[in-house]
Amino acid sequence: MQDNHLSTKKIPPQDRLIFALDVSGAEEAKQLVTHLGDAVTFYKVGLQLFMAGGYFELVRWLIDRNKKVFVDLKFFDVPQTVRSAVHELKKYGVSFTTVHGNDSILRAAVEEKGDLGILAVTVLTSLDQGDVEDLGFKVNVKDLVLSRARRALEIGCDGIISSGLEAAVIREELGDRLIVVTPGIRPVRNIDDQKRTVDVEEAFRNGADYIVIGRPIRQPADFATPREAAESIQARIGALFTP
């Protein structure tokens, strides 16, 4: 296996960091975005904010400020319902959304997506081998991720969500045809519920196109403010992708 699968996609280096905006309300989210300023250009908005209220107003607020948005709601329902959800979402101008499920669910999303990027979920980074077996999958995690990545590519998804631990084998087997978005990034040390984690450089050298980071920026252990944490990560990304 190659030592380096560094992405060659034409993505501005600052856009390769996606900040997981997992806070308890839209106003708190806006304050954090304002504090981060130009240190973050791409935001993931997920289930916590969806349940807190004002979700799509926040999405519009971010886009009005020239931020890119990744809607992470992991659509998982009967195909027609997922198709309808994607139809409604694509009018907001977001960059990515996540879809979970079998081939027919993924296909329904792809057929409706327009310019919206569809990211297929492989295996959550909070799951390890034992968790996968508890769910009834008698297969190695890496094999399961690769199988789901192959299906996503064949169906026409734009990319996948994959741990950095599996990104390299995806690049080896499938090349550069899928966008790989990698959560579970722990820049220094891992003290939370993520199990299959890598650091910034390892994720990109294994083949990630984007990384998703939440708590290490929002609640930094080694920096005085979230902005300082984000700027440090951006510097590390820049060092990898700036000629």
Is 74 catalytic? The answer is yes
Catalytic residue selected from 30, 74, 90, 195? 74
User: Under a CB-based contact definition with an 8 Å cutoff, are residues 45 and 68 in contact?
Assistant: no
Q: Which active-site residues does the annotation give? A: 74
